[in-house]
Amino acid sequence: MLLRAPPTLSFLTLPDETHHRSPPPSTIVCAAAKGGSSNHALLTGVVFEPFKEVKKELDLVPSVPQQSIARQKYADASEASINEQINVEYNVSYVYHAMYAYFDRDNVALKGLAK
């Protein structure tokens, strides 16, 4: 995580300071102070910029809709047959699940056994 302390913060400056600088836009400025103490010393803040850290990884993600990270370079006929087999397996799994739900009931599986 990238944290850096800015030289001055406009809302944390002491009253006798004459120059005021504001943090750059699109940053979050955080400051912490210990409550209940009589010491009014100024604590420096930090600027949290999380997207600088992941900028390299975000540049690797393709922005063109035809490109994909997960898609392989199969021939169109091979890809179509693989997709068809996946659809068959999904449909069979739905049938098995429906059969399980039907035969799991007490009044269907073995009549009279639950008495």
Separation between Cα atoms, residue 113 and residue 86, nearest integer Å: 39
Q: How many residues does the chain have?
A: 115
Q: Binding site residues, as ranges? A: 89
Q: Binding site residues for Fe cation, as ranges? A: 89
Tokens linked to 42? 């100024």
